[in-house]
Amino acid sequence: MKAKNFFPAKKIISTLVMSTCVGFIAPASVNALPVAEAASAAAVLPDFTDLVDKVGPAVVNIRTTEKLQHSQAGNALEDEQMQEFFRRFFGMPIPKQNPAPKGRKQVPQQEEEVPRGVGSGFIVSQDGYVLTNAHVVDGATDVYVKLTDKREFKAKVVGTDKRTDVAVLKIEASKLPKVTVGDSSKIRAGEWVIAIGSPFDLENTVTAGIISAKARDTGDYLPLIQTDVAVNPGNSGGPLINMRGEVVGINSQIYSRSGGYMGISFAIPIDEAMRVAEQLKGAGKVTRGRIGVQIGEVSKEVAESIGLPKAQGAAVVRIEPGTPAEKAGIQDGDIILKFNGQTIENRNDLLRVVGATKPGTKSTITVWRKGSTRDLSIVVAEAEPDKVAQKNDKKAKKEQANFLGLVVADLSDAQKKELPDGGVVIETVDGAAAAAGLQAGDVILTLNNADVKNAKQFNAMVSKLDQKKMAVLLVRREGISQFIPIKP
C-alpha cells in the first residue's frame, strides 16, 4: 500500500498539457429532460456568483522572492520542486551548491532577486492585515501582495506559526476590502463551500465543493476541515468560504501522490487561525503551554489489559526531567484521561488543550494508574516558541555575523536537555550559509567533525577556518540531522 502524502498547496514547476475530448451527441429521443424539469433542476443548484463578487476583492495573490548569488539564480526555478520535496519529507532542503568549474577561479558574485513561489491570502482588516499560510512565506527574502485591482504592495511579515501553518502579513494601505470572518465551529459536513486563490499562479480562480469532514487529525495543534474543493499548488493561504460569504477556513494542505489535486484538501479552521493571528499581531509569536511528557495512543488491547473501560486518553511513554509532569508526580504508563475536567479522547486532544493553556496556570490532570483514577495538580510551563518572523537587523549582522554569514546563540535550557552534547542555534543567516540552505532556528552540532559546545567557541572555530576551503556542518532541524557543506 502506498504511503499517504500531504503536501502544502504551494507553487511547483508544472507543464500544462492540453487535450481534446471526442464524444457524441445523444439523439433527442433518448430520455431528454423536458424544459420545465431541466429549469427546475438548475434552480436547486447553488449559485456562487454573488459570493465571488462579495469576497473576491479581499482575496490576494502572494508572491515571494529570494536573494541568491547570480550563478545560483539561474538554477533556482529548476531546483524548486526538488527543494520542496526534501523540505516536506526530510525536514530540510538539500544543499544548494555552486562549485566553480575545475581550473577556473571563482569571481565575486552579485546578488539577484529570483522568484521563489506563489500563494494566496485574504485581507482581514481595512488597514492592511493579511492572513495566509506560514509555508507560503517561509524562507522568503521579500513578500509581495497583489490585489484584484492590480495594485501590488511589498508586505511585512508580522509573524508566522509553523505549528498551525498560519502567517500574518501587513501592507501599508487603507480602506481596503476585507472578508467577513465566520464561525468554523458551526460548519456541517455536506455544506457547500468555495475556495478563491491562485492555483499554479492563475489569479482569482474559484472552485467549489462540500465539507467532507469537520475535524481531521492531520496536525498536532488543531483538527483540520476536510473538503473536496479543488485546491492546487498556489491555493495555499486562500479562504474557504461558506454560502453566507463568510470565511470558515484557510486552505492549507492537499492529499496527493502526484503533488496535484486528487479530491481531498484540508483547511485550517478560521476560529483557530484568528486566535493565532491575534497573538502574532500582538507579540510576533504564539505562546503555548507544555507539561513535558511524550505520549502515545491507547489501543483497545491495551485498555482491556489494564482495566480501562474503553480505549481513550493519552498514554505517557516518557517524562522529561525537571518538567511540570515530573514535579506533579506523573509516571510512565499513566493514561491521561482529563485535563482541567476536559475529557481527553486521544493524544492530539491533550496536545491541543495543554497548548491552549496559558503558561503558569495551575491545572488538574486526571490519570488512570493501576486500575483506578487519581487527580494530580500541575503548573503548565511555556513551550519553546517558534522564531519571531522579523527582518534581520543589518547593523547587528554587520557587527556579529561571521564570514559564513551566521549569527548564532547558545542553546536554550530546553534544547540543552534534548542535546546534552551541546550545539548552537542559528539566529540569523546570510551569504554562503543561506545559499547552502541553512535557516534561522537550525541547530549546529559539529563543524568539520569537531563538536560545537557554545556560541563563543563556534565563532572562534570559524575564525580559524581557511576561507578558501569548504566547511562542513552537521545541522539538526525538526529532529533530523544532516551534513551540509558550505563553500564561501
Average pLDDT, the chain: 82
DSSP state of 328: H
- CB-neighbour burial class of residue 346 (10 A; exposed 0-12, middle 13-18, buried 19+): middle
Instruction: Pick the range with the lowest mean pLDDT from 124-133, 367-376, 380-389.
Output: 380-389
Domain ends where: 254, 286, 318? 286
Q: Quick one: cell of 420?
A: 546534552
Between the alpha carbon of residue 32 and those of residues 22, 42, 284, 301, the distances in Å are 21, 15, 61, 57
**Arithmetic mean of pLDDT, 332-336:** 92
In a domain, residue 73? The reply is yes
More confident residue, 283 or 479: 283
Query: Does 401 lie in the same domain as 370?
Result: no
Residue 236 counted as an annotated binding residue: yes
Query: Does 144 lie in the same domain as 132?
Result: yes
CA–CA gap between residue 238 and residue 120 (Å, rounded): 5
Residue 184 counted as an annotated binding residue: no
Query: Does 205 lie in the same domain as 270?
Result: yes
Question: Domain residues for 339?
Answer: 289-382
Query: Does 406 lie in the same domain as 371?
Result: no
Domain ends where: 361, 382, 403? 382
Give the residue numbers marked as catalytic.
135, 165, 236
In a domain, residue 21? The reply is no
Query: Does 340 lie in the same domain as 225?
Result: no
- Number of folded domains in the chain? 3
In a domain, residue 147? The reply is yes
At 397, the pLDDT band (50, 70, 90 cuts) reads very low
Instruction: Pick the range with the lowest mean pLDDT from 19-28, 264-273, 386-395.
Output: 19-28
Query: Does 400 lie in the same domain as 332?
Result: no
Query: Does 318 lie in the same domain as 261?
Result: no
More confident residue, 315 or 258: 315
Non-local CB neighbours of 128 within 8 Å, separated by 6+ positions: 153, 170, 171, 172, 173, 174, 176
Residue 284 counted as an annotated binding residue: no
Residue written as grid cell 505562546: 287
Check residue 223 and give its pLDDT.
86
**Arithmetic mean of pLDDT, 50-66:** 95
Check residue 88 and give its pLDDT.
47
pTM beyond 0.75: no
Nearest alpha carbon to residue 210 among 186, 232, 194: 194
Check residue 255 and give its pLDDT.
80
In a domain, residue 428? The reply is yes
At 290, the pLDDT band (50, 70, 90 cuts) reads very high
Residue 79 counted as an annotated binding residue: no
- CB-neighbour burial class of residue 120 (10 A; exposed 0-12, middle 13-18, buried 19+): buried
CA–CA gap between residue 454 and residue 35 (Å, rounded): 79
In a domain, residue 251? The reply is yes
At 412, the pLDDT band (50, 70, 90 cuts) reads confident
Check residue 15 and give its pLDDT.
37
Q: What's the CATH code of the domain at 126? A: 2.40.10.120
Indicate whether 236 pLDDT > 60.
yes
CA–CA gap between residue 325 and residue 384 (Å, rounded): 16
More confident residue, 412 or 70: 412
Residue 393 counted as an annotated binding residue: no
Query: Does 307 lie in the same domain as 343?
Result: yes
Whether the CB-CB separation of 253 and 166 falls below 8 Å is answered with: no
Query: Does 143 lie in the same domain as 231?
Result: yes
Check residue 142 and give its pLDDT.
94
Non-local CB neighbours of 417 within 8 Å, separated by 6+ positions: 320, 321, 322
Query: Does 132 lie in the same domain as 267?
Result: yes
pLDDT tens sequence across 158-208: 999 998 999 999 999 999 999 999 999 999 999 999 999 999 889 899 999
Percent with pLDDT over 70 in the chain? 77
In a domain, residue 5? The reply is yes
Instruction: Pick the range with the lowest mean pLDDT from 66-75, 167-176, 349-358.
Output: 66-75
CA–CA gap between residue 62 and residue 152 (Å, rounded): 9
In a domain, residue 371? The reply is yes
In a domain, residue 25? The reply is no
Indicate whether 9 pLDDT > 70.
no
At 218, the pLDDT band (50, 70, 90 cuts) reads low
Non-local CB neighbours of 362 within 8 Å, separated by 6+ positions: 377, 378, 379
Q: What's the CATH code of the domain at 475? A: 2.30.42.10
**What region, left, alpha or beta, does residue 158 occupy, with left being phi > 0 and alpha being psi -120 to 50 degrees?**
alpha
Query: Does 309 lie in the same domain as 231?
Result: no
Nearest alpha carbon to residue 439 among 236, 141, 10, 70: 141
Query: Does 411 lie in the same domain as 371?
Result: no
Indicate whether 244 pLDDT > 90.
yes
Domain ends where: 319, 350, 382? 382
